[in-house]
Amino acid sequence: MAKNDLITGSIWDEYSNQVIRRMDEPTHQGEITEEMAKEMGGKLIVADFGAESCGDAVRLYWVVNEESEVVMDSKFKSFGCGTAIASSDVMAELCIGKTVDEAVKITNIDVEFALRDHPDVPAVPPQKMHCSVMAYDVIKKAAGTYKGVDMESFETEQIVCECARVSLGTIQEVIRLNDLTTVEQITDYTKAGAFCKSCIKPGGHEEKDIYLVDILADTRAAMEQERLKVAADASASGEATFDKMTIVQRIKMVDEVLDVDIRPMLIMDGGNMEIIDIKENMPHYDIYIRYLGACNGCASGDTGTLYAIESVLKQKVDENIRVLPI
C-alpha cells in the first residue's frame, strides 16, 4: 500500500485503477546493472532527477542499443509518494521500444493520460499532477546523459514555471483538455505557480516574459474563436450544431452515427440497440438506450460496449454526450 500518499476513504475515488495498481505493484520498478546491460548487448544509462519543490526523486535505468539507439529495457527507482511510483512506472514503460529521440518527446501529459482508466477522466487529483512532470524531466536527463548534452538542450518550448518546470505548451494543452477557467485550476493541474508564484502575474520577486494570467486569457480567447468558427461554418453550410437541434434532429443524427459505427458490430453478435430518449442535463446530453437481442443482459453492455458507444458519439456528435443504458 502506498502509505506515503496518506489516502483514505473516498479520496481513493480521485485516483484511476491504473494508478492504484501501479502504486502497489509497479511493473518496471527495479535496478539494471552493467552486467545485465552487457548480457542484453546494450549500453547502460542511469539518470537521477529530484523535485526540490516536493522532495520526490526518481532514478531511471535504460539499456540502449547503440546501433539503433532503441531503449531495449527501462526500469526505475522512486523515492517519494505512491503517485510518483505510478507515474515513474508508466514513464519507464513508455520508453521501452522507442529510440532515444522518440523517448525524449514523451511528456508529462502523455504519462498522466496513460494512467487514465477513461480518456475523459483525470488519473489523479490536481495536486498530484506534478509527479508526472518529474517523470518527464528524468527522461530528458537520461537522453542527455546518453547523447552527452545538457538536458535543457531538449527544451523545445518556453518554460513558464521554473519551480515546477512547466512549459508554455503544457499549460496551454492542460487548459484546453480540462476546460480550465482560473489560474488556481492551472496550478492544481500542473503545479505552475504553486511555489515562488512569480509566474502567476507581474509583481513577483522575479520578472517573467509571460505570466499564467496572460496564457489563460489568450488560450481561452483562442478556444472561443475556434468555437465561433465551428458554429459559423455549420451555419454557413446549413447544418445546425447539436445544441441547436430539436429532439427529433438529435435522435436522427445519433441514429445515423450508430448505424455506421456501432450497430454493425452489435448485429454481428446477434444484438442491437435503440434510442429511448435524449435529455439535457447541462452541461451534458444524456442519451438513454435499450439493448436488444443478444446485447440485452450482456455484461459488456455496462463496460466495453457502453464505452465504445459513448466514445464514438463524443467524437462525432458532441463531446458532452453521456450514454445511459436502461
CATH assignment of the domain containing 91: 3.90.1010.10
Least-confidence region, from 17-26, 34-43, 120-129, 228-237: 228-237
Last residue of a domain, one of 212, 239, 266: 239
227 and 249 inside one domain: no
Flag whether pLDDT at 78 surpasses 90.
no
Flag whether pLDDT at 112 surpasses 60.
yes
- To the nearest whole percent, how much of the chain has pLDDT over 90? 46
What pLDDT score does 119 carry? Answer: 86
Flag whether pLDDT at 128 surpasses 50.
yes
Interval 141-163 mean pLDDT: 85
Q: Annotated catalytic sites, by residue? A: 54, 131
Which grid cell is 46?
542511469
CB 326 within 8 A of CB 289: yes
42 and 130 inside one domain: yes
Flag whether pLDDT at 109 surpasses 50.
yes
Among 266, 261, 264, smallest CA distance to 296 is for 266
Flag whether pLDDT at 157 surpasses 80.
no
- Residue 144 CA to residue 158 CA, distance in Å, equals 18
Per the structure, the count of domains in the chain is: 3
Alpha helices in 149-211 (DSSP H): 168-178, 183-190
Domain holding 305, by residue range, is 243-325
Regarding predicted confidence, which is higher, 3 or 142? 142
- pLDDT confidence bin for 2, thresholds 50/70/90: very low
What pLDDT score does 309 carry? Answer: 93
CA Rg, the chain, in Å? 23
- pLDDT confidence bin for 325, thresholds 50/70/90: very high
Flag whether pLDDT at 27 surpasses 90.
yes
CB 265 within 8 A of CB 291: no
81 and 215 inside one domain: no
161 and 149 inside one domain: no
15 and 130 inside one domain: yes
Last residue of a domain, one of 114, 129, 156: 156
CB 78 within 8 A of CB 56: yes
Stated pTM of the model: 0.52
Interval 237-241 mean pLDDT: 67
Flag whether pLDDT at 6 surpasses 50.
no
Flag whether pLDDT at 115 surpasses 80.
yes
What pLDDT score does 1 carry? Answer: 40
What pLDDT score does 42 carry? Answer: 97
What pLDDT score does 51 carry? Answer: 64
CB 318 within 8 A of CB 242: yes
Last residue of a domain, one of 128, 156, 184: 156
12 and 140 inside one domain: yes
What pLDDT score does 5 carry? Answer: 44
89 and 191 inside one domain: no
CATH assignment of the domain containing 272: 3.30.300.130
13 and 128 inside one domain: yes
The whole-chain average pLDDT of the chain stands at: 86
Regarding predicted confidence, which is higher, 73 or 299? 73
35 and 131 inside one domain: yes
What pLDDT score does 265 carry? Answer: 84
Cα 7 from chain centroid? 22
166 and 60 inside one domain: no
- pLDDT confidence bin for 130, thresholds 50/70/90: low
192 and 64 inside one domain: no
- pLDDT confidence bin for 166, thresholds 50/70/90: confident
Q: Kindly list the distances between the CA atom of residue 198 and the CA atoms of 34, 150, 220, 275, in Å, as whole numbers in the listed order.
A: 43, 25, 21, 52
219 and 306 inside one domain: no
